[in-house]
Amino acid sequence: MTVVFDAYAAYYDLLYQDKDYSAEVQFVHDLLAKHGVPARGDLLELGSGTGKHAEGFARLGYSLHGVDMSPTMVKAANARKPADLSERMEFAVGDVRNARVSKQFDAVISLFHVASYQTTNIDLSAMFETAAVHLKADGVFLFDCWYGPAVLTDRPVVRVKRMRNDTVEVLRIAEPVIHPNDNVVDVNYTVQVKQNGSDKISELHEMHSMRYLFSPEVELLLGLAGLRLVERVEWLTGKSAGFESWATTFVAAKA
């Protein structure tokens, strides 16, 4: 079975090299501190990707256990661990819906819209349950997602992104198809890879189904997992989430 992100995992960091990981880590760190998470606490990251967020948290003093469904991503994360932080970072293959670690954490985090990849109520509930069972009594769960009011206000369109480094040039075309009765957008990716100095182009395709979420359903499903919503803000700005908040952050605590 092909796992989402496996096909172009080799080009993931290149495609997102303009992503401000430092600002994102600081934003999450500030929110965690606001809700009482110790600065050098233990974090569980659901959907840890290639480990770039994890490195930032480790540099702030956290210890982090990352879980990701893609073996290719986990391999990349383990390979790029800085030697001076290796004791604070570990990564394993696992599904956020059923992964279990034999400890509890000060916080569970899930970034870059991993929650939106849970396109059914069953899947999202299972992810929330994973977070709940791994939280200490005073721990918090923080995640971001596509936010329904903004997605329907500023609907998805075709987007093209081109990035290059010393060896390759990557062109990614994202073509969305929206399913309004399911609150899901199928994002069809075409990725063309050209080696520098060569005319040969290889092409790969992936389809990512993304669910946009609304606060009432999030609050309901969190409650079923034994969690209560304590804050909802726009990603990175901290402003009140609204019609322009495509990416929105939710913070929950044990009920």
Q: Round to whole Å and give the CA distance between 124 and 253.
A: 17
Fold of 9-147+212-254: Rossmann fold (3.40.50)
Q: How far is CA 106 from CA 19, 33, 159, in A?
A: 26, 11, 38
DSSP state of 130: H
What is d(CA 120, CA 8) in angstroms, rounded to the nearest whole number? 25
Look at residues 58, 37, 54 and name the one whose alpha carbon lies nearest to residue 45. Answer: 54
User: For 155-190, how does the pLDDT look when each residue is reduced to its tens digit (9 = 90+)?
Assistant: 999 999 999 888 889 899 999 999 999 999 999 999
User: Beta strand pairing status for 247-254 and 105-110?
Assistant: unpaired
**Mean pLDDT, range 36-50, rounded to an integer:** 96
Record: fold of 151-211: N-terminal domain of TfIIb (2.20.25)
CA distances from 47 to 160, 177, 196 (A): 25, 24, 31
Asked whether the predicted pLDDT for residue 4 surpasses 60, the reply is: no
> Cβ atoms within 10 A of the Cβ of 154, count?
11
- What is the reported pTM? 0.94
Domains of the chain by residue range: 9-147+212-254, 151-211
d(CA 225, CA 206): 31
Average pLDDT over residues 96-123: 98
Tell me, what's the pLDDT at 1? 36
pLDDT of residue 146: 98
Q: What are the phi and psi torsion angles at 84 (to 5°)? A: -75, -10
